[in-house]
A and B are shown apart, each in its own frame.
Chain A
């Protein structure tokens, strides 16, 4: 399972990097999303890959059989932040599309006010 997990993270990270480097608005947004997904999965894996363990002790789940709850809490925060940032980037790209008249992130038109 570790190999599958690591492979998926690597694949997501690679695709994300490729898309971000394409420097077109939509690709960059998509690439940033993939990078965020990969990072979140990575944070989740920091607590160890365990199957069938609850993050809460008690209620019939002994402490030695619990999963590490901290990375799960961390990843929850990171997911929320990543979601908000993705929305912000999409808005900015749309704004750039109307302000600069191009989808490229390094569009020049009107960039210099003289």
Chain B
């Protein structure tokens, strides 16, 4: 079991290090190594999915310090699910790089090394069991993403990267301040140890811990690109090369994952936060995000900007479900998360193929020569139906589920909630705007201009994009079992007892010597300091 937990970290890290050490490797071999790393992550993730499917929680100690002081890698259903999603997306992107004659990885020497390090950071963020290592893995994946974003060069990328780096550095500072406040008051950073400690806070320290939790909420909202801290997303995603942008589709979801873990701490943090409704604040942010994103979709001058705005819409939609706080809301949000990650990833790859075939590239202006490949049009139509939330594809199922969850949460919950009717109006209104924007784009791209006589120049890059988009009907067909699984995931997350029990049950392999006790700082002295 510990092998399953360590391999999704160790393999990409090792392959990344190998690629950095041998920069002169032929591109072909680099691509093959990249594909190997993605397959390894997906394989380990599927293993974890199987191990945790019956509700067990896989956990292991790194460095053999006793829990909860040592470093813990832990996978419950939620972690395994998100890791599988990461592996699937990474596999599709690696396959795209391998199959396509594109030059996405040709411009920079370290593209594949950065890609592996990004996988390492993503896997670490999903598997770590404490807040500080979450910070470290966030930094790892961010540093890799800075490198991937500027691949290919050009002023637009430099500018987007500069904004992205500066904003994320400020976000990291907020994250660290929150971590410090929580450690100073609760005396632990382990996610399994925190609920206990937060419940036992002294009244004088509760406001400080609350401030720490709010700072964490702010930092995670920045990573998830919630309004008002969303401004980095659209320039960065539309400037990045298509395979990079497709991989970035999982990055906002890391923020969502961290928010989910934070929400799981909230019941224990009642004294710390007082009456401040953190979840309701996130819900309001989510509704604003999907409105701003929908307006952006209509206003977008080119296909990439439009897809980047679709990412904003989907983050808003799924967080609206998750922030409802009920089991149903979390399960519905997770369903939408799977759907949107795969479909937006596929759309980014598809748009690259469309742009190659057009004289005007991704720009939404009539081109004398529309794309000729027979499959581009139907795939774009399918992807649009899925992402806009029209039946019979998964976007519709996800949105209907989220709306149902919002309605029942609005009826039952006593906590302040922006009102399910307003949420419904915004969700449906944004869907309408997305439909309008996508129809306009499809008409301009495919119907204006004379059809070309020449067949498509690059037929071989479509399978990975098509496979990602085909996930949408698959998610509908497997809807029943998947819904049960997600319900169980949400229940496990909200319950939290199994998570705590899994960590406390961990025993070091070597028993600690009696002469040298584990360095447990004197918390009584610590707590009474102020």
Residues of A within 8 A of B (CB): 20, 28, 32, 35-36, 38-40, 42-43, 45-48, 57-58, 63-64, 66, 68-71, 74, 77-78, 81, 84-85, 88-89, 92-93, 95-96, 99-100, 105-107, 109-114
Are the C-beta atoms of B529 and A69 separated by less than 8 Å?
no
Task: Find chain A residues with CB under 8 A from B150 CB.
Answer: 92, 95
Task: Find chain B residues with CB under 8 A from A77 CB.
Answer: 132, 136
Q: Which 4 A-B pairs have the closest CB atoms?
A: A110-B155, A46-B184, A46-B180, A43-B180
Task: Find chain B residues with CB under 8 A from A89 CB.
Answer: 162, 165-166, 169
* B residues 488-530 in Cβ contact with A at 8 Å: 516-517, 519, 521-522, 525-526, 529
B156 interface hit (Cβ, 8 Å) = yes
Are the C-beta atoms of B170 and A92 separated by less than 8 Å?
no
How far is A78 from B178 in the complex, measured between Cα atoms in Å? Answer: 13
B51 interface hit (Cβ, 8 Å) = no
- Between A35, A81, A84, A89, the greatest number of chain B beta carbons within 10 A of the residue's beta carbon is seen for A81
Task: Find chain B residues with CB under 8 A from A100 CB.
Answer: 155, 158-159
Are the C-beta atoms of B132 and A107 separated by less than 8 Å?
no
**Least CB separation from A93: chain B residue:** B162
Task: Find chain B residues with CB under 8 A from A88 CB.
Answer: 143, 146, 165
Are the C-beta atoms of A46 and B156 separated by less than 8 Å?
no
How far is A81 from B171 in the complex, measured between Cα atoms in Å? Answer: 14
Across chains A and B, the number of contacting residue pairs, with CB separation under 8 Å, is 113
Are the C-beta atoms of B173 and A69 separated by less than 8 Å?
no
Task: Find chain B residues with CB under 8 A from A38 CB.
Answer: 173
Choose from A48, A57, A106 the contact partner of B526 (Cβ within 8 Å): A48
Task: Find chain B residues with CB under 8 A from A109 CB.
Answer: 155
How far is A93 from B165 in the complex, measured between Cα atoms in Å? Answer: 10
Task: Find chain A residues with CB under 8 A from B516 CB.
Answer: 58
B390 interface hit (Cβ, 8 Å) = no
How far is A110 from B158 in the complex, measured between Cα atoms in Å? Answer: 11
Are the C-beta atoms of A42 and B522 separated by less than 8 Å?
no
Are the C-beta atoms of B166 and A20 separated by less than 8 Å?
yes
B161 interface hit (Cβ, 8 Å) = yes
Task: Find chain B residues with CB under 8 A from A113 CB.
Answer: 154-156
Closest beta carbon of chain A to B165's beta carbon, Å: 6
**Least CB separation from A98: chain B residue:** B158
Closest beta carbon of chain A to B204's beta carbon, Å: 15
B179 interface hit (Cβ, 8 Å) = yes
How far is A88 from B153 in the complex, measured between Cα atoms in Å? Answer: 15
Answer whether A92 and B158 are a contact pair too, CB < 8 Å, given A58-B516, A77-B136, A114-B363. Answer: yes
Are the C-beta atoms of B155 and A111 separated by less than 8 Å?
yes
Task: Find chain B residues with CB under 8 A from A63 CB.
Answer: 517, 519, 522
How far is A4 from B522 in the complex, measured between Cα atoms in Å? Answer: 25
B163 interface hit (Cβ, 8 Å) = yes
Answer whether A92 and B173 are a contact pair too, CB < 8 Å, given A84-B143, A99-B154, A111-B156. Answer: no
Query: Scoring B residues 161 to 188 as 1 if CB is less than 8 Å from chain A, else 0, what string do you get?
Result: 1110110011011001101110110000
B139 interface hit (Cβ, 8 Å) = yes
How far is A38 from B78 in the complex, measured between Cα atoms in Å? Answer: 35
**Least CB separation from B136: chain A residue:** A77
Are the C-beta atoms of A71 and B183 separated by less than 8 Å?
yes
Task: Find chain A residues with CB under 8 A from B155 CB.
Answer: 99-100, 109-111, 113
Are the C-beta atoms of A28 and B176 separated by less than 8 Å?
no
Are the C-beta atoms of A48 and B529 separated by less than 8 Å?
yes
Closest beta carbon of chain B to A47's beta carbon, Å: 8
Closest beta carbon of chain B to A18's beta carbon, Å: 13
How far is A63 from B518 in the complex, measured between Cα atoms in Å? Answer: 10
Task: Find chain A residues with CB under 8 A from B522 CB.
Answer: 63-64
Task: Find chain A residues with CB under 8 A from B519 CB.
Answer: 57, 63, 66, 69
Closest beta carbon of chain B to A56's beta carbon, Å: 8
Task: Find chain B residues with CB under 8 A from A71 CB.
Answer: 180, 183
Are the C-beta atoms of B170 and A32 separated by less than 8 Å?
yes
Task: Find chain A residues with CB under 8 A from B525 CB.
Answer: 64
Task: Find chain A residues with CB under 8 A from B177 CB.
Answer: 39, 42-43
How far is A106 from B159 in the complex, measured between Cα atoms in Å? Answer: 7
Are the C-beta atoms of B162 and A68 separated by less than 8 Å?
no
**Least CB separation from B183: chain A residue:** A46
Answer whether A112 and B156 are a contact pair too, CB < 8 Å, given A39-B176, A89-B165. Answer: yes
